[in-house]
Every structure is written in C-alpha cells, then in structure tokens.
Amino acid sequence: MSVNNTETAIPEAEGTTGKDGAQRRTNVRWRLFLLLLVLVAVNYIDRGSISVALPIIQKEFNLAPELVGLLLSAFFWTYALMQIPVGWLIDKFGPRKVVTASCIGWGAATAASGMAGGFLSMFIARLGIGVTEAGVMPAGGKLNALWMHKKERGRGATILDAGAPLGAGLGGIIITGLITTTGSWRMAFIIAGIATVLMGAAVWWYVRDNPRQHPGVNEAEAQYIESSHAEEDALAVQEGAKGKRALLPYLKFRSFWAMCLGWLGFNGVFYGLLTWGPLYLAQDKGFDLKTIGWSTFLIFGAGFVGEILGGMIADKWREAGASANKVMRTLLGFSSIVVIGGLIGVTVVPDPTTAVVLLSLVMFFLRWVGLFWSIPAILGGRTNAGVLGGAMNFSGNISGFVTPIVVGLIVGATGSYTWALLYFVGSAIIMGVSVLALDYNKRLPV
C-alpha cells in the first residue's frame, strides 16, 4: 500500500492479487493523466476562446487586422517569458502546487477578460492569462517523468498534450454555444473562468508530486514506476550525467536546440491555426459563427485523435524493440512531410469543404509532435525535466507571440491569407529538420 496516507480524500487502493498470487498494479498514473488531459483541454478552451469570439469582438471594438494580431499575441508574450522561471518553480516546489495556483489565477484572468471595455483592457487581461497558464505544460512534463514508466512516456506525453487540440476543438462549440445561449461573449468568458477555478480544486485533490504520496497507489504500482527510475538513474551514471543542473550547461548540445527549434516550428503552425483559423474561415471561406464552431471542432478533433494514436504507435513500437531514434525520427519525420504537403494544398484549393478536410489532415499528423513532451525527461531526467520543459515551451511560444502579429501584418498588407499559409509551411519545415536532428536515445551528460 501507499506509504503516505495523510491525505485521505481519495479511497485507499485495493490490494488485489492476480492468478499467480502477485499483487496487481493499480492504475492511478493513467487516471492522473486523464485528469491532466481535461485540464489542458480547459486550458485551450480558455486560450482559444478569444479566437472563436473574434469576429464579434473585432466588430465591437472596431479593430484593424494589425490590432487583431497584436491582441492575439498578448497571451503569448507573458506565457513565453514565464516558461523558464516557472520550470524552476516546478523543480523546486513540485508540480501540484504550481498547477493548482495556475488554475486559480488563469480562471480569474479569463473571467476578467469578459469584463474588458476595449482593446487596452482586453490586452491586459490576455497578458494575465499568459502569466497564469504558464505552469501547466512544464508541470505535465515533470509529472510524466515522475509518474510514468519509461516505456509509457510516449502515451503519457500525448495524453497530456492531446488536451490542446481537444480543447481547441471543443472550445469552438462550447464558446459559440455559450455565446448563443447567453447572448454575450462576455458571459461566455466569465463562465469559462469559473470552470477553470473548479479545475484547480480537482487538481489539488487528485494530483501528487510522487506516486508514493498518493493514497490510491499500491505497492505494486509504486515499485513498477520506481524500477524504471532506478534503471534510468543507473544508465545516467554510466553515461556521465550528474544531478540537478541549471539550464546553461544544456546550451552546448545539438539535441537541446533541436528540441527547442522543433517545438518552435510546431507552434508556428498550431498557434497560427488556433489564433487566426476561425477568422480565416469567416473572412476567406464565408463561414458563419455556427459553421466556424463545427469546422474548428472537426479540424482540432482530428488533431486529438491523431495525437492519441501517435503516442500509442510510438510506445508499442518501442516495446517491440525499436530504438527511440528509429521510432521518433520515422514518425515525426513522416508527420512533418504530410503537414507541409497539406498546408501547400490549402493555399491552392478554393473549395471551403476541401480546405477544412486538408486542415483536419494537417492537424491529425501535426499533433504527433506532442511526443516532444517526453523529451525533457529523456534529455534531463526527472530532476531537470521541469526546467528543460520550460525552455522547450519558451522556445515554442516565441512562435506564439510572433505568429499572430506576422499573420496580421500579412493579411493587412495583402488582403489575403495565402502568404500567411506559406508562413505556416516555413514553420513546418523548421519542425521537420529539427525532429530529424534530435538524438532521442540518451540523457545529456551534464
């Protein structure tokens, strides 16, 4: 049984046994990651809510395309800048405290954005959402290192990251539904903010920083996870890896930069479609609010399915004996080729339905790169997964604040989305080169 039962909100694990008399493992780690999936989905519903409501907000605030791009980028400025500091906080204080505080803060900021009176107050609220949401994904990467057996981390990473397309897809329906039901985009944002605060309470109730701290984990599950940790630690000692390290020593390694640039390229595509996608469908394809909601659901829903499938394929292939480099370079290299081809196709196909189908295909394979959330643990081990995850997400979110502004400038200057889509193609090329350059086989010797 768990060695720490001081927190009893969760029922004690049953000590059931199998046919051979051995204790069966509990599966708390999978339930914990399903909770994180829901959390990240709520994260992206809140994050993308402004994009869905943007046709209404743009008209109400009388915003030019350039100001729209600036408003869409506001979240990413502070979100990116907080990544490395929050990664350090996660390594120091543990993911449970950081994620709980994050939920409460970003819920309040989301509700505040529903009270904005114009561009400036909305801009400030979006900055606040960026600060408070910053801890969620690096904390998830840390929990993947702490809770998952090494052969399960592909699925752990993609379950965690699949919340992004799931939230983006559901957000299109939920936010448009709330706007229609309440008659106000403002009330939709306030309701979303309250739901986020409630998620913070769920995280505090269920998440723990260590499997043995969780009342639901039995001895068999704890030992299963710890045996993997012991193997990794022994291998790391053989390879010359040391203990807790700052970020600076990692900067001399190609794999560190490939990790960061790969995530930057990935987010150049994903955040571009997340922020400008609904407006592109409204302005270039003539979709109304309801059609935008369902099209967004189809596009990002395909990404959710693709990401879960990608994680399963990666772990099963690894279990069959393939090396990490073979699995990751093959899967992610192939996905990059499909993404590039699909985006080029969208630029030349005028039919709206075909464009939605192609964007769904792009998102299905793009989200395979969610496997990147297993990389901080590969390169830095459990001890440094937080700060490496923060560095990776910082790099990725440079695209977050650059892409909306660049797309706004392109659309404002050309009156067309063609060059914006080609900008996404360039981001996908950066992603493709990086996923092939990264060494997934060993921890960095720092």
Convert the pLDDT of each residue in 241-267 to its tens digit: 555 566 788 889 999 999 999 999 999
381 vs 371: CA distance, rounded Å: 16
Please give the Cα distance from 376 to 259 (Å, whole number).
9
CA separation, residue 144 to residues 164, 177, 389 (Å): 16, 34, 11
Task: Give the per-residue pLDDT at 156.
Answer: 86
Residue 54 banded pLDDT, cuts 50, 70, 90: confident
Does the residue 443 lie in any domain? no
Residue 201 in tokens: 């309470």
Q: Is 9 within a domain?
A: no
Which residues contact residue 157 at a Cβ distance below 8 angstroms, ignoring those fewer than 6 apart? 141, 144, 311, 370, 371, 372, 373, 374
Give me the pLDDT at residue 243, please.
56
Average pLDDT estimate for 90-102: 91
The residues pairing with 222 across neighbouring beta strands, listed in sequence order, are: none
SS3 sequence, the chain? CCCCCCCCCCCCCCCCECCCCCECCCCHHHHHHHHHHHHHHHHHHHHHHHHHHHHHHHHHHCCCHHHHHHHHHHHHHHHHHCHHHHHHHHHHHCHHHHHHHHHHHHHHHHHHHCCCCCHHHHHHHHHHHHHHHCCHHHHHHHHHHHHCCHHHHHHHHHHHHCHHHHHHHHHHHHHHHHHHHHCCHHHHHHHHHHHHHHHHHHHHHHCCCCHHHCCCCCHHHHHHHHHHHHHHHHHHHHCCCCCCCCCHHHHHCHHHHHHHHHHHHHHHHHHHHHHHHHHHHHHCCCCCHHHHHHHHHHHHHHHHHHHHHHHHHHHHHHHCCCCHHHHHHHHHHHHHHHHHHHHHHHHHCCCHHHHHHHHHHHHHHHHHHHHHHHHHHHHHHHHHHHHHHHHHHHHHHHHHHHHHHHHHHHHHHHCCCHHHHHHHHHHHHHHHHHHHHCCCCCCCCC
The pLDDT of 132-151, averaged and rounded, is: 88
Digit-coded pLDDT (tens) for 290-312 = 787 788 889 988 998 999 899 89
Diameter over CA atoms, the chain: 71
Residue 311 within a domain: yes
Specify the higher pLDDT residue, 240 or 228. Answer: 228
**Is 19 inside any structural domain?**
no
pLDDT value for 1: 37
Backbone region of residue 21 per phi and psi (left: phi > 0; alpha: psi in -120 to 50; beta: other values): left
Within-domain flag for 280: yes
Closest among 435, 421, 258 to 340, alpha carbons compared: 421
Residue 23 domain-assigned? no
Please name every residue paired with 181 in a beta bridge, in sequence order, or none if there are none. none
Per the domain annotation, does 46 fall within a domain?
Answer: yes
Inform me whether the pLDDT recorded for 200 exceeds 50: yes
| Number of domains into which the chain is organized | 1
CATH number of the domain to which 400 belongs: 1.20.1250.20
Q: Which residue range is the domain that position 52 belongs to? A: 28-437
- 173 inside domain: yes
Q: Residue written as tokens 């400036």?
A: 120
Residues in the chain, overall count: 446
Structure tokens at 309: 């499938």
CA distance 246 to 65: 41
- Using the structure block, give the residue that is written with the tokens 């970020």: 247
Weakest-pLDDT range from 12-26, 204-218, 411-425: 12-26
Please answer whether residues 308 and 159 qualify as being in contact, where contact means their C-beta atoms are separated by less than 8 angstroms: yes
Q: Which of 31-35, 135-139, 205-209, 240-244 has the lowest mean pLDDT?
A: 240-244
What is the pLDDT confidence band of residue 7, given thresholds at 50, 70 and 90?
very low
The answer to whether residues 340 and 428 touch, using CB atoms and an 8 Å cutoff, is yes
Give the mean model confidence (pLDDT) for residues 160-189. 85
Residue 5: per-residue pLDDT: 41
- At 366-400, the pLDDT tens digits run 999 988 988 888 888 777 777 888 889 889 888 87
